[in-house]
Structure 1
Amino acid sequence: MSGGVGPTCSDISLPTEQEILHKESCDPKQQQQQQEGIKSPGGVGQKRAAAAAAFLSFQQLNALAVVVIFSASGMVCAEDLAFVVFSMMYMYFISRVAFPPLAGAGEPTVFSQENRLLRLYGFFTIVVGFFLPIAYILEGFFEEDKEGIKAASPHVFLLASQSFMEGVAGNDRFSTPIRVFVPVLYNARRVFTLTEWLRDEFAKEDKEYSGSVRRQMIGRGLAVVNMAVWSFNLFGILLPLYVPKALKRYYSVKKSKD
């Protein structure tokens, strides 16, 4: 859940399918077991199951759990659910029509994963954009702040959906522009949900509100900080830096390959 600028220090992922195949190719015992597995009736199914397990990282599973819980609890509207479904279909569509993966050529990376400042920024966005709003929502159940829960839930739901989709787009089946498309699309959508969150938090004075004054101030502060952080992420990092660099590197590799 990096906001689209690279993995954070909290990323914990399972080995990828390519790493598993590489280890097996270097290990004679694994090669022998693989040959025996192909001859046996259950060998192919076991390999496919292992590849499927490696496809989802620990972070993706957590994000998927949040998406399922929020969807089942009714805390998100039908429009946000439809948006997630649309993003999945459109991502697969443009990956086949406009930006196919570069077969036989390594996909270029945009930002170095060893950039310490970038990792700290990613950790900061996770805390501010995900963990603190979840804590705010959980506290809302105790203080019966239905308006605060309703206002903050779409942002958390879409951010969890973005994290899951970024993991899907990080697969070798998708090209670099698709990996750019996911955070830009979701970040742009969440700007509108954050605007509604801000409006609802500052409109509590005109409505019947059962929460404490402290919670009201925390809710406003969270909404303002998230609006500032994710607006900067979209207009200060993704659009002016991430998108041009990713497209330039993608087309340079594609041109050199052609």
Structure 2
Amino acid sequence: MSGVSLAVAPPTEPDQTTNSAVKPMEKPLHRQQQQQQPAVGSVMGSLRVIELQLIAFIMVFSISGLVPLLDLVFPAFATAYFLALSRLAFPSYGRTSGSQEIFQGGRLFRLYVILGTTVGLFLPLAYVLGGFARGDEHAVRSATPHLFLLSCQILTENIISGLSLFSPPVRALVPLLYTVRRIFVIMDWIRDVWLNKTLPANANLQDVAWYWFGRILAVANLLYFSINLFVFLIPKFLPRAFEAYFRDRDEIHAKMAEDKRSAAANQAQAQAQQADKKSD
């Protein structure tokens, strides 16, 4: 759960049976709903802009030298692992569309997602940009690995969610795997701002505010993503993905078995008819 891919609901297809039964007095309302559909399309189109921005962030972070080698290699390893899972362990059966959400929450859940996007993406980005402006290399270096991995996570989620190649378990493992890695990165961030960074004796009010902003932001990220991992992703998000996957798999296997039985019955009936014709 990145906060971007889950914050936008998938577009809904119009129900043909409902459209055929619309009363004359309800047709103006139906036309009004159809006029609102381009707005949804414009929101989904804006995701393409977000992906381009994420690619730009990833490229800048990669060539800046501020991201450790292990964190640079991690997205490539994770992508190869997801591809292997989609081929070997959890192949897609094509029953769920790529844009379908695994978990659809209410208004409080969307507020929770927006909070995570603000705490995990926007404020750390402001912290890094502010560090560049203030010449605080320590702040830039401590928060950049988290931003790099989160950008890779959001980009991977957006791409995988639009491809039917990836089944729900694989899609659910993307935020889970990235969140586990980022928690360790955030712990390094906390150690940098709480143990390795000190204020000068003659620090002014702006320096003190900036110092505590970095400290509180690092702790807030650790709290949010720890809760996200242990309260949402593991007990709720992941089981729901596996439940949908195995339900679709069982339905497909049952349908295949029924088709085989029907084909065998038809073949036996045809053979019986041929035998009757020969006996006649």
TM-score for the superposition, normalised by structure 1: 0.76
Distance in 1, matches of 2:76 and 2:5, equals 24
In structure 2, what is the equivalent of residue 157 of structure 1? Answer: 148
Deviation per CA, 1:115-168, whole angstroms, max 9, x where unpaired?
222222111111111011111111111222111111111111100000001012
Distance in 1, matches of 2:93 and 2:140, equals 44
Distance in 2, matches of 1:139 and 1:5, equals 23
Is 1:226 aligned to 2:218, yes or no? no
Is 1:249 aligned to 2:213, yes or no? no
Structure 1 unmatched ranges of 5 or more = 20-53
Structure with more contact order per residue of length (Cα contacts < 8 Å, sep ≥ 6): 1
Distance in 2, matches of 1:76 and 1:131, equals 18
After superposition, the Cα gap between the structure-2 partners of 1:150 and 1:169, relative to the gap in structure 1 and judged at 3 Å, is same
The alignment partner of 2:239 has SS state of helix
Q: In the comparison of the two structures, how many residue pairs are matched?
A: 214
Amino acid at match of 1:257: I
- The alpha carbon displacement at 1:6 in A equals 5.6
In structure 1, what is the equivalent of residue 6 of structure 2? Answer: 7
Alpha-carbon contact 1:128-1:226 (below 8 Å) kept: yes
Alpha-carbon contact 1:143-1:212 (below 8 Å) kept: no
The alignment partner of 1:57 has SS state of helix
Structure 2 unmatched ranges of 5 or more = 14-44, 254-280
After superposition, the Cα gap between the structure-2 partners of 1:129 and 1:5, relative to the gap in structure 1 and judged at 3 Å, is closer
Match of 2:75 among 78, 84, 87: 84
Alpha-carbon contact 2:67-2:145 (below 8 Å) kept: yes
State percent identity of aligned pairs. Answer: 36
The alignment partner of 1:187 has SS state of helix
Amino acid at match of 1:201: V
TM-score for the superposition, normalised by structure 2: 0.70
In structure 2, what is the equivalent of residue 148 of structure 1? Answer: 139
For residues 49-198 of structure 1, the aligned pairs below 5 Å read 57-103=48-94, 105-106=95-96, 109-112=101-104, 115-170=106-161, 171-198=163-190
Alpha-carbon contact 1:184-1:238 (below 8 Å) kept: yes
